[in-house]
Structure 1
Amino acid sequence: MAASPGGTPAPAVEPLSPQPAAHTPEPGSDSRAGRLSFCKKVCYGIGGVPNQVASSATAFYLQLFLLDVAQIPAAQVSLVLFGGKVSGAAADPVAGFFINRSRRTGSGRLMPWVLGCTPFIALAYFFLWFLPPFTSLRGIWYMTFYCLFQALATFFQVPYTALTMLLTPSPRERDSATAYRMTMEMAGTLMGAAVHGLVVSGAHARNSCEDAALLGPVAISPDATRLYSIAAAVVAVTYPVCSGVLHLGVKEQPEPSAPASSQSLGFLAGLGLTVRHPPYLRLVISFLFISAAVQVEQSYLVLFCTHASRLHDHVQSLVLTVLVSAVLSTPLWEWFLQRFGKRMSAVGICVMVPFAILLAAVPTAPVAYVVSFVSGVSIAVSLLLPWSMLPDVVDDFQLQHQHGPGLETIFYSSYVFFTKLSGASALGISTLSLGFAGYEAGACKQAEQVVVTLKVLISAVPTCMILTGLCILLIGPAPKPGHLPPSQDTSRRLSLRRRTSYSLA
């Protein structure tokens, strides 16, 4: 790692050998102040559940709802998905700007943002699944509430994820809290897909599609509106409940004081520095492709099973298989990345590639369940890895630049901004391709061009994105040990060098 500008080589830092590194204490790791109790980790993890519950339901079922229940054209659905994702992406730097300038209150600097957004997100989410009585302006209705929901969810998620840096000074405890958060969020993802899917399953009964000659749109189930409203209300309630648990169980720690020689940066100046930091830049660009691939895979699984294969009766089971596999494999991936390193763990993302191609070629039930299980394992590491690497990148940046506190919000918000923007582009273009292929909203049977398009979207598109992202993530300059600023004490220098050795620095 290179020295900071103007820094002098530290005279007494020797190369790390396995034995000394293993016994060198990390900051806060041996003190009670640096440790997080099991209860605090669980409460922190619960705070991230609502967004994952809602995101899971929208990822798997929103396209199906808009196309086959609201019955708006595929081109309008493309605009709704693209506009909503862009709205969420645009809200990230705005959230980072305002949160970075906010003052600390009795509840902290980040917690008030989480609590303040909670009731508004719940309302926006409920109306996103509400079927208005008019038909001509439904596209505008769903565009409005999807944009509102995505923007508010961003103002909820940015301070919540940045709170990781203010839970404890111990890097191992932060990694542990991240693993708890990811496990609870995976459980929320599972709950969201399961509850929403079970409630609305009656809205997509195939009784009216038994006539194979029926190609045009069919009337939706009379209970569809009620079922989707019930599912939306159940998910919306999780926001106030889980936010209350987070507030009661977690206390935001005061930010460390900046060194006397450092200067606090404004948001735009800080953003300009962060996006030029090579480890951060490589992390962001690689996960632009990987996260977009995961979103495409999730969004088109239900449509593929419904219209491009004879797996309609297995939709709920396949979705649950994906999510159960992801939940169960998250702790295993956390152990793996601690044991073998985070760069090595990234290889696990590409496991889904051959199986996704196999599903498109052989869309049978046994193959579909195997693919769903393997996809869940890959999705788990693709979600855990960037959030585990970000604290390392932030620490590496702070070592080189020595700026004041607050930059962690910029790192987190800009990362979410870029990944959401890539997801918006991928989903918008792919849904628009369905329109070009001739997708007919509400139809029982789609044209052959639509079936081929769905097969490409479920296999070839995610494969290319994942391989591209992994090439960027793994093919790069090897970490180079360097000299650290003399202002850091020896134990902190050794600890930070061990931690950044896991990252892309």
Structure 2
Amino acid sequence: MLREVRRVWGTLCVCVCVCAGGRLSSYVSPQDSRAGHLSFCTKVCYGIGGIPNQVASSATAFYLQLFLLDVAQIPAAQASLVLFGGKVSGAAADPVAGFFINRSRRTGSGRLMPWVLGCIPFITAAYFLLWFLPPFTSLRGLWYTTFYSLFQALATFLQVPYTALTMLLTPSPKERDSATAYRMTMEMAGTLMGAAIHGLIVSGAHGPQRCQDTSLPGPVAVSPDATRLYATAAAAVAVTYPVCSCLLCLGVKERPDSSVPASGPGPSFLAGLALTVRHLPYLKLVISFLFISAAIQVEQSYLVLFCTHASRLHDHVQGVVLTILVSAVLSTPLWEWVLQRFGKKTSAFGICVVVPFAILLAAVPTAPVAYVVAFVSGMSISVSLLLPWSMLPDVVDDFQQQHQHGPGLETIFYSSYVFFTKLSGAGALGISTLSLEFAGYEAGACEQTEQVVVALKVLIGAVPTCMILAGVCVLMVSPTPKVPRQDFSRQLSLQRRTSCTLA
């Protein structure tokens, strides 16, 4: 095991050093030309390309709401608009990105790679400006809505061609599956990096010491150290975009798409969507995970805010967040085994494990309870992310069996699922943040009213509980798709998956 670890780290160092010298493409080309084989270095560089979006998404999922309310000090109603607008923008960008990218022409660097590289400077600037504190106060809500929406849309335009690049790396399905496994491993590592890097840098901006120098009620003036810490964290995360994209460009060569075109034109998006939503297993799967994914996003977004204002856990925020993410990463192989051993519907009950612990945290907000809840929450998040991407291929195969002479609608199944889940997250975050406004949340204040504390306890306990139970109930009553006996569905499952993000 130690020898294998040394080999992996040695190859990674070679990749980085050769990339720095601009010679990686010539280094890997002889390996890749052998019957569609992808070298280890190429797979690593491809996986590195998925790190930046996950780093940024993890940081925004846990810390953006706290930044908007306590550092930017915009009203909760405006923070609700920022979160809702950004999520809707990302959802709307999915079909738009697919439309334009599918109609783009191949260039000297490929058909998909120019989209990836073209997004980098804009998404880097948008992410940094999202965490920047402008000198004016009256239009800050509009400022953050604009840049969060722009960031989410650009992240989609980056992620769509990046994930589709898997099909143009090699004609070998086995090598594609291997490259996808590298990508998902790197993305999980990126999720951990995002929360760790951003959290460690900004941890000094929200400690109890910021309120020790004032005894006046109301908002506390924004410390220059807080703005500097958030700007530093934003720069540290933003720089991963150009660095990782350079490694991706130098280490991965896009091959021409040699797939045979379809015999006839497929249906329009709306016509295909009408066909997919009439398929009962898919409809119930989507409805189920609309509730479940919204519950996970609400729990992630309000955990840091709950620890800051509804409990005395200021010093444990970073540890709790990292516990969630480490638990999610480490429990992924366990849930993969459970899926294969006991079935997918049975493993769905693993999502419910967090329910009693979330209620316990709201009732007894102490440090030991918080860490236990964080560990269990990570396990629940892991299975909630794995399960839909495992069940969707079965639903698509079931649809194709029932419509053997119909068009292939795999792309519409996946893009519409992503669209609906993003839209549900936007609605859940927007409405829940708006509830803080009605509860009387005062942006930037050291002490919040009892109504706000109660609202945060409800948002961290009761709301995710109800959503998860509703989603699991819908999933349990949905019909089980008939899976073909051959391993065709399993062979395509990794190729069909989009990014599995914890944010």
TM-score (norm 1): 0.82
2:198 pairs with one of 196, 199, 202: 196
Output the amino acid matched with 1:245: L
Output the amino acid matched with 2:182: Y
Matched, 1:305 2:297: no
> Aligned residue for 1:495?
487
1:372 deviates by: 0.5
1:114 deviates by: 2.3
Output the amino acid matched with 1:449: Q
Q: Residues 292 and 166 from structure 1, CA distance in 2 versus in 1: closer, same or farther, beyond 3 angstroms?
A: farther
1:255 deviates by: 5.6
Q: Tell whether the 8 Å contact from 2:441 to 2:452 is kept in structure 1 after alignment.
A: yes
1:439 pairs with one of 438, 441, 450: 441
Q: Tell whether the 8 Å contact from 2:285 to 2:478 is kept in structure 1 after alignment.
A: no
Moved more, 322-331 or 457-466: 322-331
Output the amino acid matched with 1:130: F
> Aligned residue for 2:26?
none
1:89 deviates by: 1.3
Output the amino acid matched with 1:232: A
Matched, 1:287 2:302: no
Tell me, what secondary structure is at the counterpart of 1:286? helix
Output the amino acid matched with 1:477: P
1:174 deviates by: 5.5
Pairs within 5 Å for 1:170-189: 177-189=179-191
> Aligned residue for 1:487?
none
Q: Residues 501 and 314 from structure 1, CA distance in 2 versus in 1: closer, same or farther, beyond 3 angstroms?
A: closer
Moved more, 248-257 or 230-239: 248-257
After superposition, the C-alpha distances for 1:105-164 in whole angstroms (9 at most, x for unaligned) are 455443332222122111100000000011111111111111111111111122333445
Question: Distance in 2 between the 1:470 and 1:34 partners?
Answer: 42
Output the amino acid matched with 1:243: S
Question: Distance in 2 between the 1:319 and 1:444 partners?
Answer: 22
Q: Residues 404 and 384 from structure 1, CA distance in 2 versus in 1: closer, same or farther, beyond 3 angstroms?
A: same
Question: Distance in 2 between the 1:425 and 1:398 partners?
Answer: 32
> Aligned residue for 1:137?
139
2:153 pairs with one of 138, 151, 154: 151
Q: Residues 197 and 384 from structure 1, CA distance in 2 versus in 1: closer, same or farther, beyond 3 angstroms?
A: same
Question: Distance in 2 between the 1:196 and 1:338 partners?
Answer: 36
Q: Residues 279 and 114 from structure 1, CA distance in 2 versus in 1: closer, same or farther, beyond 3 angstroms?
A: farther
> Aligned residue for 1:241?
243
Matched, 1:257 2:260: yes
Pairs within 5 Å for 1:473-488: 473-480=475-482
Moved more, 445-454 or 181-190: 181-190
> Aligned residue for 1:65?
67
Pairs within 5 Å for 1:364-375: 364-375=366-377
> Aligned residue for 1:325?
327
Number of residue pairs the alignment of both structures matches? 460
1:397 deviates by: 4.9
> Aligned residue for 2:424?
422
> Aligned residue for 1:270?
272
Aligned-residue CA RMSD (Å): 3.0
After superposition, the C-alpha distances for 1:350-386 in whole angstroms (9 at most, x for unaligned) are 2211111111111111110011011111112222333
Q: Residues 66 and 296 from structure 1, CA distance in 2 versus in 1: closer, same or farther, beyond 3 angstroms?
A: same
Question: Distance in 1 between the 2:268 and 2:348 partners?
Answer: 33
After superposition, the C-alpha distances for 1:152-184 in whole angstroms (9 at most, x for unaligned) are 111112233344555567777666554433332
After superposition, the C-alpha distances for 1:177-207 in whole angstroms (9 at most, x for unaligned) are 5443333222111111111111112222322
Question: Distance in 1 between the 2:413 and 2:142 partners?
Answer: 33
Q: Residues 130 and 204 from structure 1, CA distance in 2 versus in 1: closer, same or farther, beyond 3 angstroms?
A: same
Q: Residues 460 and 362 from structure 1, CA distance in 2 versus in 1: closer, same or farther, beyond 3 angstroms?
A: same
1:456 deviates by: 0.6
Q: Tell whether the 8 Å contact from 1:124 to 1:149 is kept in structure 2 after alignment.
A: yes
Gaps of 5+ in 1: 1-31, 483-492
1:293 deviates by: 0.9
Q: Tell whether the 8 Å contact from 1:90 to 1:417 is kept in structure 2 after alignment.
A: yes
Question: Distance in 2 between the 1:498 and 1:81 partners?
Answer: 36
After superposition, the C-alpha distances for 1:56-111 in whole angstroms (9 at most, x for unaligned) are 11111111111111111111111111111111111122112222333344554433
Q: Tell whether the 8 Å contact from 1:162 to 1:412 is kept in structure 2 after alignment.
A: no
Q: Tell whether the 8 Å contact from 1:165 to 1:391 is kept in structure 2 after alignment.
A: no
Matched, 1:360 2:362: yes
Q: Tell whether the 8 Å contact from 1:107 to 1:252 is kept in structure 2 after alignment.
A: yes
Question: Distance in 1 between the 2:250 and 2:210 partners?
Answer: 50
Matched, 1:232 2:234: yes
Question: Distance in 2 between the 1:340 and 1:500 partners?
Answer: 21
1:331 deviates by: 3.1
Gaps of 5+ in 2: 1-33, 497-503
Question: Distance in 1 between the 2:398 and 2:69 partners?
Answer: 46
1:470 pairs with one of 469, 472, 495: 472
Output the amino acid matched with 1:273: L
Question: Distance in 2 between the 1:166 and 1:280 partners?
Answer: 28
Q: Residues 338 and 252 from structure 1, CA distance in 2 versus in 1: closer, same or farther, beyond 3 angstroms?
A: farther
Output the amino acid matched with 2:488: L
Q: Residues 177 and 469 from structure 1, CA distance in 2 versus in 1: closer, same or farther, beyond 3 angstroms?
A: farther
Question: Distance in 2 between the 1:34 and 1:396 partners?
Answer: 31
Output the amino acid matched with 2:242: P
Q: Tell whether the 8 Å contact from 1:183 to 1:330 is kept in structure 2 after alignment.
A: no
Question: Distance in 2 between the 1:86 and 1:393 partners?
Answer: 26
Q: Tell whether the 8 Å contact from 1:67 to 1:74 is kept in structure 2 after alignment.
A: yes
